[in-house]
Chain A
Amino acid sequence: MRIHRVIPVVFILLSGCATFQELVPVPPLQPQERGYIELKNDEEDFILQQDKKYFIKFPGPLDENVYLVLQTNAKRSVHNYFTSSFNEGQEPISKVTDEAADQNDLCLFPVNTTIPVYYWVIDKVDQETQLSIRYRYVQKWRFTVENKYDTYRRLLDENSADRREYNQMGPQYDFASLDAAIEQQKVEVKHKLLSDMQDELTAVEKLFPKNISASSDTMYKKYNELCGDTKEELKFQTDYIHLLNVIQQERSTKYNFKAFMGHYKDYEKFLKNKSSYRTPIVEHYKNVFLDRLDEAFPLFDNQLKKKDDISVIDLDPSIDNVEKLFTACGKQMPANLKGIRSYVDEFNIPAKWIRDGEAIYESAGPASHQKSPWPDNTYYPELIMKLEKARSGSPEYNLDKFDRYRNPVINQLFSDGIQNMKQKVSQRQNQFQRAADAVRQVNELKPGGDYKRMIQVLRANRDLTFLADQYPDLDGLMMKSISDRIRERLNAGDWVGSEEGLYALLDEQNFLNASKISAAKLKTAQSLESELFERIKKLSYERVDNFAKMHESTINNVEGLYADSSFLPVYTLIFSSESPERAAQKRRTIENYLNEVKTIRFPEKSIKNIYSDLTKAPRDHGVDKAHAVLAHAKYYNGQDKSVRNIIDECDPRIAKPLVKAKEYRRILVVPVNDKPKATNEYMLRINVKIPSDAKFPVYDINIKVPPAIAEKAGSRQWFTQMLLNKKVIKTEGHMRITAPSADNNYEAQITPVDIPKDGENIIEVQFNYPAFQLFEVSVMAQVPIIRKN
């Protein structure tokens, strides 16, 4: 058994060993960074046999960021892969990605020092191949730079800006002829390409060994030179682009000083970076800018002359920016412009006083109060103090000293504005003082929840509309207090009080905003009204259901049960927020349910229960139970056929249907008289309705008579009368009535009884008995047969 298990394992091992053959180069492979080295088998190329599999071990590198480069003729002719973990070709195989996958004879595998041995695996040789292969361990940066240096250098050369135009710019240069936009576009394209190249060079920088800066590595030097050249070219292009941009901005804002000043920061930057540009260019544009600044005074002067209000003057463009551009151009701002600035400063003294006062006043405006509902007692006093700041003191100014802009109207406007500000602030302070008093009163009433008084206080100050606004929920609270009182009455079952509360709620008008609260008030009233209705309904339903449940088996005084108040609502609803008809409709809903219980469910359940008891123990108060069923039946309006059948079963006057031949049907025989007598009268009625294909059906009617009644049938007639459709049945002619006796199991037979196919066929048997009790009689009908005898 064991040998059977071992054999496959051995077979697999042997077959596995035979699958891949290691090619061991001579001389052995060296991982140091060097140039390409021939991989030979003692100066001979390895021969790859068809359908054989091979692998070659490559030692891990000595440094980080190293590539193993394989240059071979077999890359495409044999199937191969490079891996850090070789397991005889068993899955899974973790391949190292060849970063030169697009090349036909070069493989580029990133290797690192954590792996001691890598494997180059040849797993499929379609035809015999002489393996020509060279390998090289090389720093990644070196490999990259070596391979791309020429490309980078060419890229730099091709994308260096043409400086001929730039270099020509000077006193004689016609700047107007320069198409700055096209020139800028060209330079920006080159700038983009060189920027990308610079990013790549920067990325290579991360691959450098730590100590390379101290080395004399030629390639490293070449790399640095390339980077420096690139950086210098990019700086030139950046500055040149900025110049071209300034040229275009100035040119495009000709005759529009405001727009010109919109770019003043670019001009300022250009002038401050003047060392980056050729001096003739800088000087040229200083002059251009100074010429443009001459446009400032007329512009400002015109603005001031047209000023006819007392709002704060804010010159456009800013006179400060104008001054800065003057400074950048190496000049001081002229006196006329300084005079303008003095006037503006003087004008803005009263203008800002009024503006600031207005801000304080507005900050204490109605809108602000809404953010402070239910204010405490300090709220308004603090506002009063805040307002005081807007009212206190007066601005010192003198516009008359500026002849060029003297305007009496402006002076009057400032005077009125200051006076007006003081007045309205004072007025608001007075309102806030009243509000402070009202707030204090409200806050005193708050702990007691006396919303009605609070509303009265606020309504007394209804002219302070901002004050009422600070109590947006007061009406709601007021309404809630009313509804809470109504709900308390509901919970206490005080239906009258609840309805009175509802009436009061609907009539209540003491609200801060009666019209606004009216919809909510109505909704609340309707909700409470609905709750009132639901409670009355629920209690009425529960009361009647409990009553019905309690008495569903009661057999005494059944009539009295139906007079019980449980069949009335616990309260007769009067209130309705909608209409009296709606109240009546709700009353009817409850009454309908109660009526349904009274006329359907209660009698129905009772009849079924009592009848069930009756059939289980017919001798235990059987007559009382039957009479109870009939008493319930007087009130029963349902259509349950089974209940109707039960009622019929208990009613001696109802003929019991006999609808199937040969099956005995039990009939309960109840005394006809309601109260016991010396001789009680009994009656049973059968309605024979048995389907028949005879045209003139006749039946034998068999009646199993209770022995108590039948036992003396031999000496006297056990029945007082038998009727068929109200005609007396007699033993005459072919009609026979067989007496019940012990011999025939007390079974009387009437035969043959003609039963017309249509109409009722009532057989009635009447008998008397001293006891007042219930009897069970079984009746069966069957067709007689034609006999030979």
Chain B
Amino acid sequence: MKTKIIIGAVAAILIAGGLWYFLTQSELADTVAFPYIAHQKPAIDPHLPSSTAMADKLDDVMFDGLFNLTATPSGVIFENGLGEFIGINGDIVTIRLKSGCYWHDSYQAFIDDEDVTLQEKKMHEFTAKDLAFTLKRIQSLGSLSPDYILVGQALPVMEFVGPNERNEISFRFRENRLWIESDIKEVLSFKILPDNSDMNALTYSVGTTPYMKVPDYENIIRFYATQSGGASIGKVHLVPYVDNSTFTTELRNENINVLLETPFGSLSPILQEQDDFFAKSNVSSTFFAVLFNTQRLNRDQRIELRRLLNNKEIVNRFFKVGTEQQRHIIDFKGNYDNYTELLNDIVFPTSSYYVQEKIVERVRDENFPNLSILPDTVRIKACLNYGYREEYSDLIEILNDRAITQGKVKATAVQNSDIKQGDYDAVLVAISGYRSNFLFDLYSIFLREPDLETYKVNLQTTMNEKGELVVNPASFKENRNFLNLDPAVNAAERNDIILFLDDMYNFMSTHHVGDKQEYARRVAADENKMALGAWFFSLPSTAYFSTQFDSTSIDLYGVASQLSTLKKWKESQN
């Protein structure tokens, strides 16, 4: 009897334990889940900037370079990717291509409801042909691609010799500096595509990293770890949401376990429990600006409007500074609530290399606006449907506040079609994914077509009589950029517009540091003179992670992508 009682008790304990485990086991186990705006599926192109920050971050999830820029607790380093540095002899750099690295299309994904099983099919190994294809593509993209600038500064010809029997290839680097290993790895850190790729695909999904993309499930964009990849966590999910207003709630409710960007970039009051979440910051990559419609506002009006839009007051209102609802922030250096550091006075954000290194001086027009020059009402429009809904909403409210804009501004939320038609005096836009390093992208501000749904840069180049590639003035075309810049239409500013376009192109296309710096100064000066926009502020970059993850396994540092170390992320032991 006693024995029966004991056996019954042990059985009851085991059943209870199993039931407890089943009920408490999270759905996000072995999964990294972070949100995205459902109607903004990231179009992934490892060589071109994207309109959505998420797309650029996914470059690191899917693609390897010969070397990969990755964050460490001490800073960024370049790890071996598909290549291994062998040595440099004079100007000849020798790289050994890794063998046994396979493209994601080597695996077949078998779907069973929401489960996915990966099985090897015909193995598609990375070879030198893939590298050659990639270099050819980067060459063809020209100044549109930051990689073109990085590679072009080192390789006079984007070609290599080899591979030899040891699978080694040789690049001839330029003779203008002593190339050291870290420089070489940085230059060769561009992401590599397979040579069977389309040269101009809208999105690329076949890489060599541990995570391969598998078919979506209920709009969840999914990446599964391959068996040979060495990733700690098996799945990465991008979970769709209508906008970012509920992101923190979703994290709290454990529907996601990573939030890469918080609303307002601020620390979230509802995620304060340090037992459940931890936060990490890195350098800003999004800023807000009001771009002026040069067809609607003349230069004098634009200057006065710029004076009217006092970004310091706007930031204070935006972060509710001094109120009980103040939105606290932290930067990647650990500084709290340093809002003034977020203020941008010129087109180059304060966090960018050009301002930080004082290549370009911040110019702040402290004069009072002459409202008489402005139209009765300046109509500023914004579209809330492509991210940053929360931020846009607050900013529209702030801009409509008479205390801020003295009743001269009427800001409204509109559909993307209104933006596309250029029906605004000025447009409020969030420029996301900007790089604070040398490779700050001016095309995404000034040459992007006014369409928030589709990212398209209207750059047109032509060959001059010297055989040099120069920018074509047709790159500025009415209704083809947020500012409606068109030298053919705006005769009064034609020369300045063309000069600005030239300086911008020279900035974007040069691989010389000195030229980059000088044209940065000129672009800033040109823009300041022409008063093309009001450069409000940058959004802090704060990420929240569930304590499901071991915080020490996640490194975010400086300009390294937030997901550069994804394969090293680990779940907490407890």
Contacts and interface: CB of A to CB of B under 8 A. Distances in A.
B186 interface: yes
Contact of A786 (B149, B175, B357): B149
Given A788-B189, A788-B439, A662 B514 contact: no
A785 to B, nearest CB: 6
Contacts of B435: 788
B513 A752 contact: yes
Contacts of B547: none
A611 B437 CA distance: 48
A695 interface: yes
B358 A783 contact: no
A162 interface: no
B513 A785 contact: yes
B358 A785 contact: no
Contact of A694 (B75, B187, B358, B515): B515
Contacts of B399: none
A782 interface: yes
B183 interface: yes
Give the residue among A698, A754, A784 with the most B Cβ atoms within 10 A: A784
Contact of A661 (B177, B186, B510, B517): B177
A734 B357 contact: yes
A488 to B, nearest CB: 72
Contact of A732 (B358, B439, B518): B358
Given A692-B512, A694-B515, A696-B517, A787 B186 contact: yes
A417 interface: no
Interface in B425-479: 435, 437-439
B178 A662 contact: yes
A697 B512 contact: yes
Interface in B550-574: 558-560
A733 interface: yes
Contacts of B177: 661-662, 700, 782-785
Given A733-B357, A734-B358, A783-B177, A788 B514 contact: no
A789 interface: yes
A662 B438 CA distance: 22
B514 A785 contact: no
B174 to A, nearest CB: 8
B380 interface: no
Contacts of A754: 514
Interface string A659-696: 00110000000000000000000000000001011111
B412 to A, nearest CB: 39
A786 B153 contact: yes
A734 B359 contact: yes
B69 interface: yes
B150 interface: yes
Contact of A733 (B150, B358, B511, B514): B358
A788 B75 CA distance: 13
A785 B183 contact: yes
Contact of A692 (B150, B176, B517, B558): B176
Contacts of B358: 732-734
A499 to B, nearest CB: 68
Interface string A757-789: 000000000000000000000001011111111
Contacts of B518: 695-696
Nearest to B356: A734
A789 B176 contact: no
A524 B511 CA distance: 82
Interface string B309-343: 00000000000000000000000000000000000
Contacts of B514: 694-698, 752, 754-755
Interface in B344-362: 357-359
Given A661-B175, A662-B175, A662-B177, A788 B150 contact: yes
Assign chain A's interface to a size class.
20 to 34
Interface in A693-741: 693-698, 700, 732-734
Contacts of A696: 512, 514-515, 517-518
A786 B154 CA distance: 10
Instruction: State the main secondary structure of chain B at its contact with A.
Output: loop
Contact of A787 (B75, B174, B438): B438
B76 A789 contact: yes
Instruction: State the main secondary structure of chain A at its contact with B.
Output: loop
Interface string B178-198: 100001001101000000000
Contact of A785 (B187, B506, B558): B187
Interface string B482-517: 000000000000000000000000100011111111
Interface in A274-317: none
A732 B75 CA distance: 23
A335 to B, nearest CB: 136
Contact of A662 (B69, B75, B176, B359): B176
A785 B153 contact: yes
B176 to A, nearest CB: 4
A734 to B, nearest CB: 4
A734 B353 CA distance: 9
Contacts of B558: 789
Give the residue among A732, A733, A780, A788 with the most B Cβ atoms within 10 A: A788
A700 B183 CA distance: 14
A568 B558 CA distance: 76
A782 B178 contact: yes
B517 A695 contact: no
A700 B176 CA distance: 11
Contacts of A783: 174, 176-177, 512-513
Nearest to A698: B514
A732 to B, nearest CB: 7
B271 to A, nearest CB: 29
Interface in B115-149: 149
B358 to A, nearest CB: 4
Interface string B207-226: 00000000000000000000
Contacts of A787: 186, 437-438
B438 A786 contact: yes
A537 B51 CA distance: 89
Nearest to B91: A662
Give the residue among B69, B76, B175, B512 with the most A Cβ atoms within 10 A: B512
A786 B516 contact: yes
Contacts of B153: 785-786
Interface in B152-189: 153-154, 174-178, 183, 186-187, 189
Nearest to B557: A789
Contacts of B187: 785
A696 B519 CA distance: 9
A789 B517 contact: no
Nearest to A733: B358
Contacts of B176: 661-662, 690, 692, 782-783
A476 B34 CA distance: 126
Nearest to B560: A789
A355 to B, nearest CB: 113
A697 B176 CA distance: 11
B515 A786 contact: no
B70 to A, nearest CB: 11
A505 B151 CA distance: 90
A212 B178 CA distance: 124
26 contacts: A661-B175, A661-B177, A694-B510, A694-B512, A695-B506, A695-B512, A695-B514, A734-B357, A734-B358, A752-B517, A754-B514, A783-B177, A785-B154, A785-B187, A786-B149, A786-B150, A786-B153, A786-B439, A788-B69, A788-B189, A789-B69, A789-B75, A789-B76, A789-B186, A789-B437, A789-B558
Given A785-B154, A785-B513, A788-B186, 19 more contacts: A662-B178, A692-B176, A696-B514, A698-B514, A700-B177, A732-B358, A734-B358, A734-B359, A734-B517, A752-B514, A752-B517, A782-B177, A783-B177, A787-B437, A788-B69, A788-B438, A788-B559, A789-B76, A789-B558
Q: Name the 7 nearest CB pairs between A and B, nearest first.
A: A698-B514, A694-B512, A782-B177, A733-B358, A734-B357, A696-B518, A696-B514
Interface of A: 661-662, 690, 692-698, 700, 732-734, 752, 754-755, 780, 782-789
